[in-house]
Structure 1
Amino acid sequence: MDKAKEVAQEEAVRVKRLTQDAVNSRAYLYPLKGIFYFATHQSLWQPLWSQLAPTITTGIGVTTFMFALTYLPQAAALAIINGPFAVVSAIALVLSESSAITSILARSFFIDAALLDTFDGTLVERNQTELVTAGRTVKPGGSGVSRLGKVIRTPFSRFTPKAIIRNLMYLPLNFIPIVGTAIYIILQGKRSGPAALARYFQLKGMTARQREEHVEKHRGAYTSFGVPAVLLEMVPFVGIFFAFTNTVGAALWAAEMEEKSN
């Protein structure tokens, strides 16, 4: 009993520390800042436009497939819990699942390079050209993405086969009303927060151990960035747009960290 009490107290202290870190960092604001910054800086739009057609096509295909194969079984299962509201709940669930799957596929096959350009372009816009040159050439003149040259250091793919499988394994959590979705968002947020800053870690020349130590030290901040970012990307039909604005938000955060470190 004493051991259980001790573990509970330690967990309470850890949660308190993570919460304080999240609140003090204000990292949760950067996904929103990314939306406004992206909307007001046309020089960052080109990567999104270049991948819009294949992404929309993928989204339509995935959504059609999901409704055809999974809507009725999920509606039947949800009827046990939600009763007559199962029809609407199942639609929302299928749309959310379709958005998540579309995001996974798009990041794996279409938009990874476009997101890289968006991140680097935002750093250039924020006068972090010297930092960006650690990973690619930067041309004089112009602004944002138009100044980006050849990539010298390509970041490791965030969506390896293992990561894709993990993401798909998490999806069934959405089947559990409210609680399951909350767990899914937190788990994804915990992972996606550090992943969003992976390019920054690379440009800084951090080793794998340094990254792990840094992320663990600021776990609350990275999770607080990841949770709203995941929520935005789960919005049906426009989730991919938010993937780009989240990338902008991550770059804005990276630029601020860089400014504070200098």
Structure 2
Amino acid sequence: MILPRSSYPLQGVYYFLTNWSLVRRIICVLFLTLVVALLAFGLSFAFLLRLQAIGLSDVGVPAWLSWILSVILCIIESAVFTLVFYLIATPIWQDALFDQVLRLKGLSRVLDERERNVSDLTLCCRGFSAGLTLVVFQIYTLIIVETFMIILTLPLHLIPVLGTFLYCYVNGWVLAWGHQLHYHLEIKQWTLSQSRKFAWQQRDDFLMFGTVAVALEMIPIANFLFVWTNVVGAALWTADVIIDEQKRSGTSDADSRRGLNSSSGVGSGYVAYTASPIASPKSSGVVSYQAITSNQ
């Protein structure tokens, strides 16, 4: 059964905390990030500290001040390197977390089918391309939207709760779509255009999920945890959709492996992604994959 979309971020928190295999993944992420940070600090102070101090002295900076500035520069350089590493590696770790949730929900064969049909190199390139495109899209979209909302809602900042809600609402769709890109592009093998069109046509569902997810990520300190639990929530949403489609179409997971199509007509052996558990897209207004591709 597919629950209200706004409940999935909260479900993600509970599901994450009650499954040690998911918690263990994040512990590994923290440990690896810590190792990279220590290496960055060690190498920076070992190789750059003296060189930077000498360089600053050569341009006229007093010796005592050049060493102080060199230490500060080493700290900044190490922190920037660690941050860049974390930002690059996070999408990969999030995809792995997403896949792990699908496996825990009994949908590992969907992932196995993807791995048999597509080479590792293709998956890597496709994931990198999707991630890069999403980053560029987010940067330009959020700059435009946030600038517009700052001007439009400036008087509303006198009412913090309403202003915060508007911020979450505006950014919710982008966040929700970003968490579904892995499933759309790498598992269902949609194009980015098809994924974007589907997400926009189902924007009410994506906004419901995204608004709550953004609100959780705005909570200080705890937002680090919620960044990961939102991925779990998105995977739970996807898993419920897949399971519901299988039940309604009478397609088992074994049938999916043999390449049978679901009732919405999505090929490649994967069940369709519809926004709500309704048998007929025509009667309900739910947009199917066929409707997306036929409109292009």
TM range (shorter): 0.5 to 0.7
Root-mean-square deviation over aligned CA pairs: 3.2
Structure-1 separation of matches of 2:93 and 2:4 = 27
- Does 2:96 align with 1:126? no
Q: Does 1:196 align with 2:196?
A: no
On the 8 A contact 1:25/1:221 being kept in 2, the answer is no
Whether 1:114 aligns to 2:93 is yes
Question: Is it true that 1:153 corresponds to 2:123 in the alignment?
Answer: yes
Report matched runs for 1:105-254 at 5 Å: 108-136=87-115, 153-154=123-124, 155=127, 156-157=130-131, 160-161=135-136, 163-164=138-139, 166-167=141-142, 170=146, 173=150, 176-177=157-158, 178=160, 179-202=162-185, 203-254=187-238
1:214 to partner: Cα distance = 2.2
Equivalent residue letter for 2:97: T
Work out whether 1:46 is the aligned partner of 2:24: yes
How far the C-alpha of 1:117 sits from its partner, in A, is: 1.1
Matched-pair contact (CA < 8 Å) for 1:31–1:229: yes
Runs of 4+ more than 6 Å apart: 104-107
CA deviations over 1:38-64 (Å, ceiling 9, x no partner): 111111123311232648x99xxxxxx
* TM norm structure 2: 0.53
Pairwise CA distance, 1:109: 3.1
Flag the structure with more relative contact order, 1 or 2, with Cα contacts below 8 A and sequence separation at least 6.
Answer: 1
Q: How many residues align?
A: 181
Query: 1:186-231 deviations in whole A, cap 9, x for unaligned?
Result: 1110211111111111211223343233223321011100000001
Residues 87-127 of structure 1 deviation map (CA, whole Å, 9 limit, x = unaligned): xxxxxxxxxxxxxxxxx978733422211111000001111
In 2 relative to 1, CA 134–153 (structure 1 residues): closer, same or farther, beyond 3 Å?
Answer: farther
Contact 2:8 2:236 in 1 (8 A): yes
* TM-aligned CA distance change 1:212 to 1:167, over 3 Å: closer
Alpha-carbon distance in structure 1 between the residues aligned to 2:22 and 2:122: 20
**TM-score of the two chains, using structure 1 as the length reference:** 0.59
Equivalent position amino acid for 2:227 in 1:
A
What secondary structure, in the 3-state scheme, does the structure 2 residue paired with 1:197 have?
Answer: helix
Distance 2:17 2:221 in 1: 18
Change (3 A) 1:162 1:152: closer
| CA displacement, residues 20-78 of structure 1 (integer Å, 9 cap, x when unaligned) | xxxx96110000111111111111123311232648x99xxxxxxxxxxxxxxxxxxxx
**Conserved? CA contact 2:177–2:196, under 8 Å:** no
What corresponds to 1:37 in structure 2? 15
SS at structure 1 position matched to 2:171: helix
Shift of 1:152: 5.9
Which amino acid in the other structure matches residue 223 of structure 1?
A: L
Aligned to 1:259: 243
Inter-partner Cα distance in structure 1 for 2:219 and 2:3: 25
Amino acid at match of 2:88: F
Sequence identity (%)? 23
Opposite residue 116 of structure 1, the aligned amino acid is: D
User: Tell me, which stretches of 5 or more residues in structure 2 are unaligned?
Assistant: 38-82, 247-296
Q: Deviations over 1:162-203 (max 9, x none)?
A: 524654673994983434433221111021111111111121
- Deviations along 1:113-146, whole A, 9 cap, x unmatched? 2111110000011111122225447xxxxxxxxx
- Higher-Rg structure is 2
Secondary structure of the equivalent of 2:131? coil
Query: Is the 1:186–1:223 contact (alpha carbons within 8 Å) kept by the matching residues of 2?
Result: yes
User: Secondary structure, in 3 states, of the residue corresponding to 2:106?
Assistant: coil
3-state SS of paired residue (1:37): helix
Change (3 A) 1:210 1:28: same
Asked if the contact 1:115/1:247 (under 8 Å) is kept, the reply is yes
